[in-house]
Amino acid sequence: MTKPNGSINRSPFGKTPEGEPVEVYTLRNRRGMEVCILTYGGIVTSLKTPDKNGRLDDIVLGHDNLDGYIKSSPYFGALIGRYCNRIARGKFSLDGNLCTLATNNGSNHLHGGARGFDKVAWTAEKAEVGEHGPKLELGYLSQDGEEGYPGNLSVKAAYALTGDNTLQVEFKATTDKKTPCNLTHHSYFNLAGGGDVLGHIVRINADKFTPVDSGLIPTGELRPVAGTPFDFLKPTAIGARINATDDDEIKLAGGYDDNWVLNKKTGGELSLAAQVSEPASGRAMEIWTTAPGLQFYTGNFLNGSITGKGGRVYQFRSGFCMEPQGFPDSPNHPDFPSTELKPGETYKHTIIYKFSTR
């Protein structure tokens, strides 16, 4: 359907190993910006934005076909849940009861487990072009006991592309038993459209971060960024301090893979988390979120073993992630902002990516 405020189209994109049909929805706004989204994993397969000369390039990593996402994808572009990031040893206590989750990251639980929300078929519940542009609403029911989590969790995830080149992701969820809930979006960005990301300029609105142990699990400390390679309060190139050999945090992750404690006036406030720009293309991106934390990851585990779209080989640090979230391992840290969702409550999380050129 084509309207003055944009268009939305759908087409088949293969079938899952279980035989479930997968579709791709293509959203375009009135300026020509385009995002393609799968019903499998809610995956953003392509995001085309203009550079300073008006040229559109795809600025996210991914695959040309469904098989790639199923067999060799490190969460490219996906919706992540029931709990994004890590939970230590896949265990936590809830009202005195021990809950045991799937462990898929060494001895830890990562991004929802062996079959998280990135690996399931979602239902396209609504696709329409509204006053502000095209919007796609996806739904998924995570059943009681899935990957070890308690409660039936009903999840809605809406992607909206507005006329001012903004992509908004809005989550809502309800449950019939108390459960942790921590949802995010996991695109790997490269604003240059290729090459490594070390020249990208980053600013993160956070005075502190959560340092980790050897398993990349938070220690519980909220450490000031001042005087460390994690200080992005002033715009700094990703590559400026990413190889700081005297910093244990950098050495543990092989680069940046930590959670920043965002500066907020109130909990749940929609606020600016980070800004990223790429000098050669002129592209710039702002990340806004209602979440208290932001995981900044610099593609440290990309090693050339994945061939993606157009035959492109994804090398070390060829993409970065900005994942707004509740803090990692919060169920095991009572002092962290709570990620518990109770019956009768509604989990809400808004992420906004604002694109522009300089």
How far is 228 from 222, CA to CA, in rounded Å?
13
Residues forming a β-bridge with 258: 296
Q: Are 110 and 101 in contact (CB under 8 A)?
A: no
User: If residue 69 lies in a helix (H) or strand (E), which one and from where to where?
Assistant: helix 66-71
Pick the catalytic residue: 109, 111, 185, 186? Answer: 186
User: What is the SS3 string spanning 277-327?
Assistant: ECCCCCEEEEEEECCCEEEEECCCCCCCCEECHHHCEECCCCCEEEEEECC
Q: Are 281 and 192 in contact (CB under 8 A)?
A: yes
Closest by CA position to 154, among listed 169, 171, 141, 170? 141
The angle at the Cα of 138, spanning 74 to 309, to the nearest 5 degrees, equals 35
323 is a catalytic site residue: yes
The angle at the Cα of 90, spanning 85 to 96, to the nearest 5 degrees, equals 115
Q: Are 228 and 288 in contact (CB under 8 A)?
A: no
Q: What is the phi-psi region of residue 340: left when phi exceeds 0, alpha when psi lies from -120 to 50, beta otherwise?
A: beta
Sequence-distant (6+) residues with CB within 8 A of 55 are none
125 is a catalytic site residue: no
Q: Are 24 and 8 in contact (CB under 8 A)?
A: no
Pick the catalytic residue: 200, 323, 333, 349? Answer: 323
- 182-66-38-25 Cα dihedral, nearest 10 degrees: 170
Closest by CA position to 286, among listed 204, 215, 224, 218? 204
Q: Which residues form the catalytic set?
A: 186, 323
